[in-house]
Structure 1
């Protein structure tokens, strides 16, 4: 950049310096970088500055605009759930991670209300809802679809239950550490 600027200044032997300097800086700022593929002006202002070349070939700028729009489009399609669709929703209250439910209404683009099998209605984000393909079309439940991690965790839990059934004399570990309690040293003279 410095070497290019020095060469351009050497060529400014005659004419209006302000005009030549402005045209040189414009050409520098609208030239695309090899590493980023975008010009410094485009990075600064989030749009391309028009040049003489753009006026001569307007189709090139429209092709580039189409490419930018294609790149900004989301890569994945949003999931859409229908009302009365059987699903499994994330359960944050008890042991079972996923419980069967039915979608009752959509409360936003990515949030839904679902009716659980016990009649409660819960509000969940679409990330906490999985489609339940294991139900029959008649609506009777044959099981709940679980992600692979949930299946592995349930197998680990069943193995842990078998091990605890074999050795019942081991007390369950306390969820909190036990503090070593003793009377203070100034009470050592007294009989307690």
Structure 2
């Protein structure tokens, strides 16, 4: 708290910063932060520097025992279409053009539109099947 005295911020903000630091710092005896011992994992600014976000996502997926789907560039997919004003929604055919992250892709739809979609809003189809847009 003494370190934060020189900053021109409210006492409440100083207290919150102190508690976050305390709760995310590993304890000297257990070598683990208190939040981890209670079953939680808090994110800090330092976590943004870690380049291993995909490993963390894959580890979390393996804990849930669900295999992560992966798509390749050029795969034909059905993509959830938000342009339709129906409660049910509609699936639109598209082609995967770019993988942005472990779960996010750019999909080309209607010849010239590029949509950014997470993998849970896409369904893989075969290239030669003639599925209609309302499938699934």
TM-score normalised per structure 2: 0.47
TM-score normalised per structure 1: 0.34
Greater strand proportion? 2
